[in-house]
Amino acid sequence: MSRLQNAGERLENALATLEQAVESRLARSEAALQSGESESAAAQARSAEMRAQLDALKHDYDVLAQVTETVSQRLDGAVGQLRVVLNDETERKQA
């Protein structure tokens, strides 16, 4: 073989090695990108789930606040009635 042929073969081998390295790097980059996209999608799904849970908790809080207000009003009414009854009995005993 002549020196020119040897140089040509080495060049072809070097190009083949370079092409393999580029293809390998591209494959790893694409895999990393897809993995990142799936992680991002998973994070978005978790975020949406947490938002839904937060909305449900806010709704539950609002319902409980309304119930608490109703109970408070009823207790105030019952206490008021008890005071009236106790005052009437106290007045009867004094009379």
**Cα separation values, 5 from 8, 10, 12, 13, Å:** 5, 9, 10, 12
Q: Domain of residue 63: give its range.
A: 3-93
Domain count for the chain, please give it.
Answer: 1
The pLDDT tens digits along the chain (95 residues) read: 687 788 888 888 888 898 888 888 888 888 877 887 777 877 888 899 999 999 999 999 999 999 999 999 999 999 999 999 999 888 888 86
DSSP letter assigned to residue 24: H
Rg (CA), the chain: 40
